Structure 1
Amino acid sequence: MKKSLKIMTIALLSILLVVVSAGCYAAISFQTAKEKSESKLSNKNKGFTGDEQTSDKELTVMIVGNDSRDDDEDQGRSDTLMVAHYDGKTKQPKLISIMRDSYVTFPDGGQDKINAAYAYGGAQMTKDVLKTNFDLPINYYVVMDFKEFSDIIDELYPKGVTIDSEKDINLDGVDILKGKQTLHGNSLLQYARFRMDEEGDFGRIRRQQQVMDALVAQSKDLIPIWELPQVAGKMVGKIDTNVPTSLLIDLAKDFLSGKVNPLKSLSVPVQGSWNFNDYTESGSVIEIDEQQNAEAIKNFMKDN
């Protein structure tokens, strides 16, 4: 009896040692990778105050894609604005894509394109505009530029991402042919950015959602889970975000498990809720019915 107890004690201690060692290895790997990456924390977003989570199983993250190239005449404006919602209980990811030229009301009562919010007041102003127009609560933010997106895709999906391209596309020296193919970081970025056709931003939003859908659907083919701490460290070092590291890793574990449901998407403005207008101080805009779109977002967020 004593011998059995001794064996059991040794076994439990061994398991505990393995768990502690794995935890230490993960923490060191994460921190080392983070320190080697260039920190992207922005003074512009340090004062961000997110809404409290209604549940520790649900979160809503505002994603801002910032085209910060020197030749961009609208430098500092958001090129892409999305809101991602994830319910950890139902394993349901959702994505709201908001067109950059949507003409919205700012907290001071003025109006402008929604992509101007980031230039005026960073992540906080963008969050406030989403709240003012759509009553949309935001817990956290992520801001990244084109290069960061491309690098992260190559880190997480080293074998590339399979996409069925809608059409032949050429943008920034990248040629993508119509049909099913595997795209890596920069090519996937150009596919998601393209809007130089008759559909403009409407087609681009659809392709961005197609890309996000592919990323979720193929997330089970991500890096091995033991590489997650190191890659997570690199990501946190490259992007500007206030999402807690522990939460990022927990989310990644869900997606790596392959048990996450297919992505549900919504484009704003919704059909029948907008008109073009060329006679504003902001130039050509998409005028929207704020109440109709707020209601559509509310119903989308409730639907499981």
Structure 2
Amino acid sequence: MNKRWKWVVTGLLSFLLIGMTIFCYSVVSFHKGKKQSQAQVNTKKNETFTGDERPETGEITVLLIGDDGREDDDDGGRSDTLMVVNYDTSAKEPKVISIMRDVYVSIPDVGLDKINAAYAYGGAALTKDVLNDSFGLSINYYAAIDFKVFTQLIDDFFPEGVEIDAETALELDGVEIEPGEQIMDGNTVLQYARYRMDGEGDFGRVRRQQQVADSLIKQAKSGLPIARLPRLLGEAVGYVDTDLPYDVLLDVGTSFLFGTIKELQTLSIPVEGSWDFNDYTPSGSVLEIDEEKNRTAIEMFLTNGEVQ
């Protein structure tokens, strides 16, 4: 073997060795982080979930559920936040659909109720069925996160805090926020995203949640240390009740953090002109919606990012 080929072989072996070392480090760090955090997660509520088959286009659709963890109050374990996250792995397009908790829908084997009640009746599986039936949304995976865990994740991923341009002054659960740009810790971010005691109710809250999501994505791309990423992802999986496979998480996470992705696009349901308030239902105050109009808006949004 001449010197040239010796250098080629040596280079390839070195490259493979480095790659295997990085891979092994990533896997070990991921599982170490997952083991450290997963004992805190209760997966029983969603153990019957079966996702819809993924399309060949490369799109991934995840049902994201925020749970305040209270089972003994009037909400009885209902979802406090409901989002559908769509990511096109080919086009690198992230999209988020926020669905307001008071939307009045038909829940299989239950009847008419607020959409957030589906989680109390049947977890992520029943919530998926409602999204299938009412809005034609195909859901591949789910992720349910407790609010206490959310604050921990924010503090772990962003130990220096998250920069948020607060749109208004508010106070919730002992946290006071003034308007303007500021650095928030996990609990402050949570209260900012949860607040709905102003005149806008859920409409304002959903807008702030989308603002927070956009800020987290942008700051994650610019501020997360590469060496700590596998362990952080492992912690996230351990903290969150989800059926997202490791390879999907790694692929999407790497794309988000190191690839060139497009700006986050958002949609709120119900869309403008498609709903009415109704205070005289067995479920209390609800948003009665035109399901066909919202279904069409979702289809257009997922197809081209626009809603007429």
TM-score normalised according to structure 1 size: 0.95
| Contact residue 104 and residue 287 of structure 2 kept, 8 A | yes
| Contact residue 278 and residue 288 of structure 2 kept, 8 A | yes
- CA offsets per residue over residues 213-246 of structure 1, 9 Å max, x none? 2122223123222221111111111110001112
* Whole-Å separation in 2 of the counterparts to 1:277 and 1:256: 43
- CA offsets per residue over residues 57-108 of structure 1, 9 Å max, x none? 2100000001113663213100000000001111111010001011001223
| Contact residue 105 and residue 134 of structure 2 kept, 8 A | yes
The equivalent residue for 2:186 is 185
CA RMSD of aligned residues (A): 1.6
- 1:37 equivalent to 2:42? Answer no
Aligned with 1:59: secondary structure? strand
| Contact residue 219 and residue 258 of structure 1 kept, 8 A | no
- 1:194 equivalent to 2:190? Answer no
* Whole-Å separation in 2 of the counterparts to 1:227 and 1:52: 32
The equivalent residue for 1:78 is 79
* Whole-Å separation in 2 of the counterparts to 1:239 and 1:131: 23
Aligned with 2:236: secondary structure? helix
| Contact residue 57 and residue 87 of structure 1 kept, 8 A | yes
| Contact residue 216 and residue 262 of structure 1 kept, 8 A | no
- Identity within the alignment, %: 53
* Equivalent residues in 2 for 1:1-304, closer than 5 Å: 2-39=2-39, 40-55=41-56, 57-69=58-70, 72-108=73-109, 110-257=111-258, 259-304=260-305
Structure 1 gaps of 5+ residues are none
Structure 2 gaps of 5+ residues are none
| Contact residue 225 and residue 256 of structure 1 kept, 8 A | no
Partner amino acid for 2:27? A
- CA offsets per residue over residues 21-66 of structure 1, 9 Å max, x none? 1111111111111111133251221121111110362100000001
| Contact residue 163 and residue 182 of structure 1 kept, 8 A | yes
* Whole-Å separation in 1 of the counterparts to 2:110 and 2:74: 25
* Whole-Å separation in 1 of the counterparts to 2:294 and 2:7: 64
- CA offsets per residue over residues 95-141 of structure 1, 9 Å max, x none? 10001011001223711000000000000000000111001100000
Aligned with 2:33: secondary structure? helix
CA shift, 1:162, in A, is 1.6
Partner amino acid for 2:257? L
CA shift, 1:269, in A, is 0.5
Aligned residue pairs, count? 304
* Whole-Å separation in 1 of the counterparts to 2:38 and 2:110: 38
